[in-house]
Amino acid sequence: MSPAVSNPDRRAFLARLAKAGLLATATGIAGFKLYDGTGPSPSSADQTALTLPEYAIDDPSKPQRRNRLAVVHGNDRKQTVNQGLKALGGIEAFVKKGERVLIKVNAAFASPPALSATTHPDLVTELVRLCLKAGAAEVRVADNPINDPATCFELTGIGPAARSAGARVMLPRTASFQPVSVSGGRLIKNWPVFVKPLTGVDKVIGVAPVKDHHRSGASLSMKNWYGLLGGRRNIFHQEIHNIIYELALMIRPSLVILDGTTTMMTNGPTGGSLADLKQTDTMILGTDPVAVDTYGAGLLEKPIETLPHIAKAEAAGLGTTDLDAIEPIISNLG
Which of 219, 224, 262, 282 touches other proteins (CB under 8 A)?
219
Contact between 145 and 154 (Cβ < 8 Å): no
Binding residues among 227-256 for other proteins as defined by CB under 8 A: 230-232, 234-235, 237, 240
Give CA–CA dist 268/216, Å, rounded. Answer: 10
274 binds other proteins (CB under 8 A): yes
CB 188 to other proteins: min, Å: 9
**What torsion, rounded to 10 degrees, do the Cα atoms 115, 120, 121, 123 define?**
160
Give Cα separations from 233 to 91, 236, 241 (angstroms).
Answer: 33, 6, 13
Which of 144, 254, 263, 287 touches other proteins (CB under 8 A)?
144
Which of 22, 275, 315, 325 touches other proteins (CB under 8 A)?
275
Beta bridge partners of 260: 282
CB 153 to other proteins: min, Å: 11
Which of 213, 252, 309, 312 touches other proteins (CB under 8 A)?
213
Contact between 265 and 278 (Cβ < 8 Å): yes
| SS3 call for 118 | coil
145 binds other proteins (CB under 8 A): yes
Q: What's the N-to-C CA distance of the chain in angstroms? A: 111
Count the neighbouring beta carbons within 10 Å of the beta carbon of residue 31.
Answer: 9
The number of residues that bind other proteins (CB under 8 A) is 52
Task: Please identify, among the stretches 4-12, 73-81, 94-102, 314-322, the one whose residues bind other proteins according to the rule CB under 8 A.
Answer: 4-12
AA identity, residue 98:
G
281 sits in which H/E element: strand 277-286
Binding residues among 151-170 for other proteins as defined by CB under 8 A: 151, 155
CB 1 to other proteins: min, Å: 9
Longest pairwise C-alpha distance within the chain: 111
Give CA–CA dist 241/186, Å, rounded. Answer: 12
Binding residues among 100-139 for other proteins as defined by CB under 8 A: 108-110, 112, 114-115
Which of 90, 98, 135, 272 touches other proteins (CB under 8 A)?
272
Nearest to 131 by CA among 266, 257, 218: 257
Contact between 156 and 123 (Cβ < 8 Å): no
State phi, psi for 275 to the nearest 5 degrees: -70, -15
192 binds other proteins (CB under 8 A): yes
7 binds other proteins (CB under 8 A): yes
Which of 60, 253, 268, 296 touches other proteins (CB under 8 A)?
268
CB 4 to other proteins: min, Å: 5
Q: Which positions lie near other proteins, rule CB under 8 A?
A: 2-5, 7, 9-10, 108-110, 112, 114-115, 144-149, 151, 155, 172-174, 177, 179, 189-192, 213-216, 219, 230-232, 234-235, 237, 240, 266-270, 272-276
